[in-house]
Amino acid sequence: MAYTYQQHIGGEWRDALNGATWNVINPATEETIREVPFGDGSDCRAAIEAAHLAFPGWSRTTPYQRSAILKKAADLMRERMDQLAETTTLESGKPLLQARGEWAVAADLFEWFAEEGKRAYGRVVPSRNPARRLSVTRHALGVVGVITAWNFPIYNVARAGAAALAAGCTAVFRPSELTPLTAMEMVAILLEAGMPANVVNLVNGEPASIAREMLENPRCAKIHFTGSQRVGRLLMDGASRTVTRLSLELGGNAPVLIFPDVDLAAVARGAVTAKFRNAGQVCVSPQRFFVHRAIAEQFSAEVAKVASALHLGSGLLPETNVGPLITGRHRDTVEAMVEAARGEGSKIVLGGRRPANLDKGFFFEPTVITGLTARSTLFSQEIFGPVLPIVAFDDTDAAIAQANDTRYGLAAYAWTNDLRVAQRVAEHLEFGLVGINDWSPQATEAPFPGWKESGIGQESGPEGLLEYLETKVISTGVGV
Ligand code: NAD
């Protein structure tokens, strides 16, 4: 399927109606990779209209027909992994290996939801009235708008898209303007896999006016949003007037509790891999390291030693483990947080500044900081950068209370070999994803639930399909 890097609306690759364009930047070089259309609410209106036209046909196909297309798309993603990963690395900066991993998960999501779509079961309910038969059925919601963040240019889009399409919804994707090329490639693959015209649409452009159109256009049944609390709140404000359904996957501030009985060197190695993945720009990134005082100093030294061997650079180079941050502005924010910590009397054990040897690109050194208190800014706000702050703890219950003392509730981690401690921590942490001796608690086949301000709704797993289905009760009178 021939395509260009454009919007896809009503079965055609299109420029923006207003003719505006946007330069997609490589964050490792600060150079323009490509110019793409940059539309607004009017492009979104056309896309919603197209998706609305396609909805009756797509929602009435059988889940088996939808499954065949979604599985074919998964196969194409796996076949073209190298080229797809390169696009994702170019626009997001992440190392190629991580970009490949992200596409592998996207393929898993399409394949898994291709199957799960077949299990949109209803049920028959025994009625209290002998003259009535009650059944409960599930129905595709309609047109879904999908607004996503740049940190996982394909995973964020695929997680909502695979479930929505498997459920029988049609879609208008609005990827981050910082990383639209990856999503454009995904749409091209879906079309090549046999997706009927108009079922998938993609707009790139001005976020507020596109979101307004999605909220105010009654033909858009739901918005899935992955991004910040700030924008999540704006969408909730808008939806309070239109009653548009919302799924919100928002930020995190994950605590990590490390107990003294662990294999310290192994946990330090794992911590470095998990923390500096995607330069820390991960919603489930381990952030607040609470380390038992008996091993805190040794752990800090070990983590700093392992992190000092990380190679910072362009994600296209095979030796790179840590790429740039997404924009200069975002790097400034991370830098300011580290400077604030310096002012709070902490000790920068490693990094803490822009690398002297890289004069282009939005790089920031892998940073390890100790001597903080749980009240420090680096503990209270999501860092979203390559910074690993550590505080020592003495008492398990006090550490759990500090870990829970946040408005975020996405991921949390604990490392211990004591089963009783593990069980207590797992039960008491107020987070949707808890990794016990595991740095990756998220899975395609399990839900991804953000507690507190980390979100509303659950993507992936069986719960992820339900996000795109409405429930209907059919009551049939059968006489007496
Ligand atoms: P952001 O909220 O600034 O942007 C996210 C998306 O919203 C982008 O596409 C952006 O263009 C768009 N947007 C901006 N203003 C908008 C508006 N007024 N109306 C509608 N859309 C608007 O977030 P970000 O900084 O790009 O992404 C990082 C955040 O995303 C972090 O907080 C991270 O934790 C979160 N995140 C969460 C998950 C999850 O699954 N919970 C996954 C990835 C990222």
Q: For 372-389, what is each residue's pLDDT tens digit? A: 887 888 989 999 999 999
Residues whose CB falls within 8 Å of the CB of residue 335, separated by 6 or more in sequence, listed in order: 353, 354, 364
Mean of the pLDDT values across residues 435-458?
A: 98
Please check whether residues 230 and 272 belong to one and the same domain. no
Please check whether residues 177 and 221 belong to one and the same domain. yes
Please check whether residues 390 and 245 belong to one and the same domain. no
Please check whether residues 199 and 95 belong to one and the same domain. yes
Q: In this structure, is residue 2 part of a structural domain?
A: no
Could you tell me the two tokens for 210?
């596109």
Q: Which domain holds residue 421?
A: 254-436
CATH number at residue 340: 3.40.309.10
Q: How far is the CA of 145 from the centre of ligand 1 (A)?
A: 14
Q: Cβ distance 154 to 180 under 8 Å? A: no
Please check whether residues 177 and 282 belong to one and the same domain. no
- pTM greater than 0.75: yes
Ligand 1 binding pocket mutation candidate from 231, 233, 278 (most atoms within 8 A of CB): 231
Q: In this structure, is residue 65 part of a structural domain?
A: yes
Mean of the pLDDT values across residues 26-53?
A: 98
Task: Name residues contacting ligand 1 (CB within 6 A).
Answer: 147-152, 156, 176-177, 207-208, 211, 226-228, 231, 234, 249-252, 283, 382, 384, 410, 450, 455
Please check whether residues 121 and 49 belong to one and the same domain. yes
Q: For 235-285, what is each residue's pLDDT tens digit? A: 999 999 999 999 999 999 999 999 999 999 999 999 999 999 999 999 999
| pLDDT value, residue 1 | 53
Q: Cβ distance 100 to 91 under 8 Å? A: no
Of 132, 79, 82, the C-alpha closest to 107 is 79
Could you tell me the two tokens for 406?
């946040």
Please check whether residues 299 and 213 belong to one and the same domain. no
Q: How far is CA 473 from CA 122, 125, 132, 135, 466, in A?
A: 9, 10, 12, 6, 16
